[in-house]
Amino acid sequence: MLQIVSFLDDFADELEGSIELFAPNPYFRMALHLIRRHLEAKTVTPTSLIGASRVPYATANRRLREMVDAGLIDQRPRTKSGKSFSMHPSEKLLEQWMQLAGRVKRLAEGRFGGREHTADTSDYFYGGSYMSRRSIPPLQVLPEPLKVSGGIRMLVHADPTFMVMDNLKRQFEQVVGTRIHQRAFSIDRLREEAVRNAERKTSRYDIIAVDLPWVGGFAEHGVLMPLDEVMDVARLDPADFHTAGWKAAHWNGRPYGVPAQTTPELLFYRKDLFAEAGLEPPTTTDALLSAAAAFHLPRQGRYGITWNAARGTALGHTVLMTMADFGQPVLNLPENAGGFETDHLAGRGYWPTIDTETGLRAAEFLMALLKYSPPDILSMSWYERVRPYAAGQVAMAYGYTLLAPYFELDPSSPAYGNTGYLPHPHGPMGRPLAPVGGYVLGIPANLPEERLDDVIEALIAFTSPQAQKLYVQNGSRTAPRYSVGADPEVRRLSSIFQAVDQLSWRDELQFWPRPPVPEICDIIQICGEEFHDMLRGILTPRAALRQAQNRAEALMQRTRDDVT
């Protein structure tokens, strides 16, 4: 949109400078200036808008009033007296300019070439041609600036998506009309700080990022505020969120957060290497091991695969997801059509199911995977597993979509433009599965009441389709909303969004592999410790399963005793 605005601005300059009888159009010039400054997150005053019109002051002032009266320009008070205003494009004007930008681009492509026909524009049955013209407009400023003392304070995870949010801080400060302060921590430190914050009399943060498995524990222990008590949840448009991501934000039937990232863990694989080797992308665990063996050439500095294998939290997540790949959750959840039931976990009718025959098959698979991994695999976690893939040192990697920028935004990476995305290869009793990860944004239960109304408005703005599209355009590779994944501008940036949408429609996005019960973080830690000893050769697979089962049972028994 900014490119089209710049083109029209330059084109108008050429017309007005080339033909004597051409005069500036004040409506057009002021609209161009307003849109450009809005996209650049710069303040526009009535004086600067009149100056951009290129017509006499009195004429420009009249045209400005006409644009305000027509609902094209919104005025937002800049001072408490309400006598000074900043000028912003209204939703009506943004929508009209989105349509104009699309028409101008299609006209140019039609007349001068470069137009591409994609599956999105030819797939009429699924509404592709309709959706290809339904771009989400830019983020609009709030009608009134937020008046929270000291600005909006956020506690987030130090990952690429939240770092994009931090880089866009100026734009979001313009939207909400106040300062934004963001603190970012690693995953374990983030949880510790959120729990510590809940113990304070009043919260230091207005909004906190919550990893999906933490939702149940944070709800049970009063860390988060149930959103249906304090706001109209319909304002979030819940149906627009990927079903798995929205359901994962709930505990005991109530929403405790809004999806900010819905990032499934997928198998990244080098399409070019598979094509050269004449191999099909692996859909089963046996096929994965065969492919890893084929590409494992340590003497040439290339390895088959990387994954989360560092001791503790990282490997614990891998254990739970691998068990799910073989068809079993870590708890005795009842089966349903989509896999396993998670709606009634608050009743605590669950028990660990680690030491089973399925668990043994999962453990043996990890031992086999170890053979085709880099020598430092047992210290690799979230980012370390993707960096060698981006560098061309491995042919495959398990990774969350939020890590894709490491190679999708780096033209020097051998994986750039050569990466395919698959759900987890499954074992004999499993099915294709993409375990859902990511974060929701929630409101601390101890937030001072006088801040609540403004914080709710900020929460809605930060998780809106317009905001999430902006994250994607600036490097994020997570899209929690269907509308964002279907946006044609988003689709052009990466094939990952179409892949995730297809997984969602096939019901392969699931969060039951890491059920959000209060004990889940400790269970993940236990599995990450016992299985690490197994991978190091200290324990046999059966011994690792038995010890993890015993520790998990003891943990749950203590939890039940504390509750009673």
Show the tokens assigned to 349: 């009718």
Q: Compute the distance between CA of residue 466 and CA of residue 89 in angstroms, rounded to an integer.
A: 14
**Residue in 4, 250, 263, 236 with CA at minimum distance from that of residue 138:** 4
Q: What is the largest CA-CA distance in the chain?
A: 88
Type of residue numbered 369: L
Q: Which two tokens stand for residue 558?
A: 């203590």
Give pLDDT, residue 270: 97
Can you list the residues of the chain whose pLDDT is less than 70? 20-21, 81-82, 113-134, 562-564
Ramachandran class of 438: left when φ > 0, alpha when ψ lies in -120 to 50, beta otherwise: left
Q: What is the pLDDT of residues 230-265, one digit of tens each?
A: 999 999 999 999 989 999 999 999 999 999 999 999
- Give the 3-state secondary structure of residue 71: coil
Q: From 213, 508, 211, select the one nearest 342 (Cα to Cα).
A: 213
- 487 with 480: CB under 8 angstroms? no
DSSP string of 100-162, one letter each residue: HHHHHHHHHHHHHS-----HHHH-TTTTHHHHTT-PPPPPPPPSS----TT-EEEEEE-SHHH
**Residue 383, φ and ψ in degrees, nearest 5:** -85, -35
Residue carrying the six token digits 């003497």: 299
The pair of three-digit structure tokens given for residue 56, joined into one six-digit string: 């006499």
Q: How many residues does the chain have?
A: 564
Domains and CATH numbers, the chain: 2-112 (1.10.10.10), 152-262+438-486 (3.40.190.10), 264-434+512-563 (3.40.190.10)
Centre a 10 Å sphere on the Cβ of residue 226 and count the other Cβ atoms it contains: 20
pTM exceeding 0.75:
yes
The C-alpha atoms of residue 311 and residue 35 are separated, in whole angstroms, by 50
Amino acid code (one letter) for 50: I
By C-alpha distance, which of 162, 197, 196 is closest to 180?
162
With b meaning 16 or more CB within 10 Å and e meaning fewer, what string describes 42-63?
Answer: eebebebbbebbbbeeeebbeb
Residue of 140, 90, 104 lying closest to 10 (CA atoms): 104
Which value, to the nearest 10 degrees, does the dihedral of the CA atoms of residues 374, 376, 380, 386 take?
-40
Cα–Cα distances (Å) from 214 to 194, 428, 476, in that order, read 10, 30, 23
User: Which residues partner with 269 through β-bridges?
Assistant: 396, 420
Position 114 scores a pLDDT of: 56
Q: Which two tokens stand for residue 311?
A: 């001791």
3-state secondary structure 469-511: HHHHHCCCCCCCEHHHHHCHHHHHHCCHHHHHHHHHHCCCEEC
- Cα angle 347, 353, 354; round to 5: 140
Q: Rounded distance, CA 99 to CA 517, Å?
A: 46
Per residue in 498-538, pLDDT (tens digit) is 899 889 888 899 999 999 999 999 999 999 999 999 999 99
Question: What's the DSSP call for residue 421?
Answer: E
